Copies of this chain bind each other. A is one copy, B any other.
Amino acid sequence: MPVQPRTPQGVLELLPSQQLAFQRMLDTIRRGFERFGFLPIETPAFELTDVLLTKSGGETEKQVYFVQSTGSLEAGKPPELALRFDLTVPLARYVAEHEAQLNFPFRRYQIQRVYRGERAQKGRFREFYQCDVDVIGKDTLSIAYDSELPALIHGIFVELAFGKFTICVNNRKLLRGLLDALGIETHDDVLHEIDRLRKIGRGKVEESVAAIVGAERAKALLDTLTSPWPGVAAELRAKGNATLTEGVDELERVHQGTLALGVPASQIQVDLSIVRGLDYYTGTVYETFLDEHPEYGSICSGGRYDNLAGHYTKSKLPGVGISIGVTRLLSQMLEAEKAAPAKRSIAQVGVVNFDPAFAAEYAAIARELRAAALNVDVYGGTAKPGKQLQYFDRGGIPLALILAKREHDAGVVKIKDLRAAEGTEHDVPRGELVARVRELLR
């Protein structure tokens, strides 16, 4: 009686053609990170429990997956290991542990899975990928790095081709300074409401802010936050609050720096209502939206923080980072593709095993194409040629090669283009095969 083969709830397991699409996404992201000189790191899936949970309050800990070997389980010991729930804590641990061997400012990227014991629901995953990129300084880190991340993200999203997108940038010093300047003391509560501006609109947000700080201040605050940049900068500077002015200066510099790195003005937008979490970020903050899919929320977020690894080292390690929510992007792409799944293949050429007498010739052809950096699938079995072609076509392989006695005697190979509905055929001289295949694949 076989066991029912099934995956746990809340994981995203892909069919090969989906996996290919995902792999191409990850490759594009990686290439984008590397273009700016970021170095790869990987950390173990599990960390020691006491190391992982230093800074957690209740919410994080509730979502942690603990790991135990059979022996430890039987002995009834508390779990020594736990799966990482993000890439930030492992980064902090990594930088603190290897501090002496790292080269600061340390540019690292990390593309790995993380684990959260979420209640299963649509769009929530228990295992999902994060793609994080950060620059970590020792003692100080120039604001110049804050301009690089939007430029890097811009390059990646242009290549990913999910449609038009806007990178929004703001500054937490500006926000806090502004609240101070308006005499508002309940920063976190007010910022929490501001954070919902994009979702629920000005009317509702102003109402909730008014409930905290009164109608007049609420209006003043929201008027300012929704004023267009850079016009509002002078007004903000005029308030004479040092933190606010510092925030305005930084924001201006980050915006200008990003433009200098080639991001079109239409795609990098200063948006004073971007808040991005409550505690962690201390300066620049980023969010990114697909213009045609605002309902996805921010698909790429991050910001500047004062000190990465205070739980692990006395060194002060300021940084700036950004993270791409790649599993969510993928699951939305797959959703969109449901009606008509795309065909994708690794092999570019399929060689039909038409007549086993020519097996050595098929091997020679495959060898030649592979030496020319083409990916080739040679059919091994002796199914009828029609079935073999069907196999290649179903696998999304664009070209099939046929060589039977007729072709052999004529010194040609037949290339069948499986992308065309009618399956166009070309007889190609054996010596021109690689060139013609390349041409057809172009």
Q: Which of B4, B81, B311, B346 contacts A39 (CB 8 A)?
A: B346
Interface segment out of the listed A135-143, A236-244, A429-437: A135-143
Interface segment out of the listed A169-177, A289-297, A372-380, A411-419: A372-380
A9 CB, nearest partner CB in chain B, Å: 9
Docked Cα-Cα span, A378 to B257, in Å, equals 12
Q: Judging by beta carbons under 8 Å apart, are A66 and B62 in contact?
A: no
- Chain B residue nearest to A260 in the complex (CB): B363
- List, in ascending order, chain B residues with CB within 8 A of A143's CB: 380
Q: Which of B142, B312, B382 contacts A380 (CB 8 A)?
A: B142
Q: Which of B20, B45, B48, B142 contacts A45 (CB 8 A)?
A: B45
A149 CB, nearest partner CB in chain B, Å: 11
- List, in ascending order, chain B residues with CB within 8 A of A353's CB: 144
How many chain copies? 2
Q: Judging by beta carbons under 8 Å apart, are A45 and B115 in contact?
A: yes
Number of interface residues of A (CB under 8 A): 112
Q: Given A45-B113, A66-B70, A367-B261, are A2 and B346 also a contact pair (CB < 8 Å)?
A: no
In the complex, A329 has a CB within 8 A of chain B: no
Q: Which of B260, B347, B394 contacts A359 (CB 8 A)?
A: B260
- List, in ascending order, chain B residues with CB within 8 A of A163's CB: none
- List, in ascending order, chain B residues with CB within 8 A of A115's CB: 45
- Chain B residue nearest to A66 in the complex (CB): B68
Q: Judging by beta carbons under 8 Å apart, are A51 and B3 in contact?
A: yes
A44 CB, nearest partner CB in chain B, Å: 4
Give A348-382 as 1s and 0s: 1 = Cβ < 8 Å from B's Cβ atoms.
00100100000110011011001001111110111
Residues 94 to 110 of chain A near chain B (Cβ within 8 Å): 94, 96-98, 101-105, 107-108
In the complex, A325 has a CB within 8 A of chain B: no
Q: Given A62-B70, A359-B144, are A312 and B395 also a contact pair (CB < 8 Å)?
A: no
- Chain B residue nearest to A44 in the complex (CB): B11
In the complex, A73 has a CB within 8 A of chain B: yes
- Chain B residue nearest to A344 in the complex (CB): B39
Q: Judging by beta carbons under 8 Å apart, are B54 and A377 in contact?
A: no
Q: Judging by beta carbons under 8 Å apart, are A380 and B141 in contact?
A: yes
Docked Cα-Cα span, A346 to B260, in Å, equals 23
Q: Given A38-B346, A45-B115, are A312 and B381 also a contact pair (CB < 8 Å)?
A: no
- List, in ascending order, chain B residues with CB within 8 A of A311's CB: 2-3
Q: Given A20-B40, A69-B63, are A51 and B13 also a contact pair (CB < 8 Å)?
A: no
Q: Judging by beta carbons under 8 Å apart, are B366 and A261 in contact?
A: yes
In the complex, A34 has a CB within 8 A of chain B: yes
Q: Judging by beta carbons under 8 Å apart, are A39 and B20 in contact?
A: yes
Pull 10 A–B residue pairs with CB atoms less than 8 Å apart, ordered by A: A3-B51, A5-B97, A16-B41, A34-B346, A38-B346, A65-B68, A66-B67, A140-B381, A142-B381, A148-B380
Sample of 5 more A-B contacts, CB < 8 Å, known A17-B39, A262-B363: A2-B312, A5-B312, A8-B44, A35-B370, A61-B70
